[in-house]
Amino acid sequence: MRLISVAIDGPVGAGKSTIARAAAERMNFIYCDTGALYRAVGLFCHRNGVDMHDPSEIAMSLGNIKLEIRLINGVQRIFMNSEDVSEEIRLPKISMAASAVSPVPEVRAALLGLQRDIAETHSVIMDGRDIGTVVLPNADVKIFLTAKPEIRAKRRYDELVAKGSDVTFEEVLDDLNKRDYNDSHRGTAPLKQAADAVRADTSELDFEQSVELVCNIIKERM
């Protein structure tokens, strides 16, 4: 059976991870959240006092990081130096750390092979910021998943509150706007819609409708 690769890009808070994960389950594909890898690097730098404003110091830290993507019962788990950090990397303080390390060329180069290896051995739905433009430029299906900033911030805020985080909507929206700017203006692999990607705006859709939209796009392109 031919392997199928699906690249889903889009801004923070667009629901890429949850929607892509659900779509992969329905399509019987492997799901790969590439943003989790950058979060893991950010977590390491945060823990070890690396200067987030010094790209060379971030790059030097890579030699001390061993990242693995393990599929446990079909679910992706991120291991950093043999420690499962899948939950800790989702903390709000790690979001900005991820944004700080992600533009560093050495970081992106180090993670590129790990991401491509998965697509070469599985039918995969992979989401991130530059999957369709850089990581999997020849993906069978490319989707740019987005929604209005206020909608994305409200979704992220509800998610964090449900996990017990003490944050305000204003803080989440401010963080989202900063990350949008950083992601789209960075010099290396900035966030942008691939020329051959289908734009999917979920502002007016609930979760089930959003998953159905993504699945339908994949089926049509397959």
- What's the DSSP call for residue 90? G
Q: Specify the higher pLDDT residue, 92 or 19.
A: 19
Helices (H), the chain: 16-27, 35-47, 55-61, 92-101, 105-121, 149-162, 169-185, 207-221
Phi, psi of 208 (to 5 degrees): -60, -40
Query: Average pLDDT of the chain?
Result: 92
pLDDT at residue 74 in the model: 67
Indicate the length of the chain as a whole number: 222
Q: Specify the higher pLDDT residue, 126 or 93.
A: 126
- Distance, CA of 89 to CA of 138 (rounded, Å): 29
3-class secondary-structure state, position 50: coil
**pLDDT band, very low/low/confident/very high, at 30 (cuts 50, 70, 90):** confident
Q: Are 170 and 156 in contact (CB under 8 A)?
A: no
Q: Where is average pLDDT lowest: 103-112, 137-146, 209-218?
A: 103-112
The model carries a pTM of 0.76
Residue whose pair of structure tokens reads 């966030």 in the numeric block: 191
pLDDT in tens, 154-188: 998 998 899 888 899 999 999 999 989 988 888 87
Q: What is the CA angle 68-189-33, rounded to 5?
A: 35
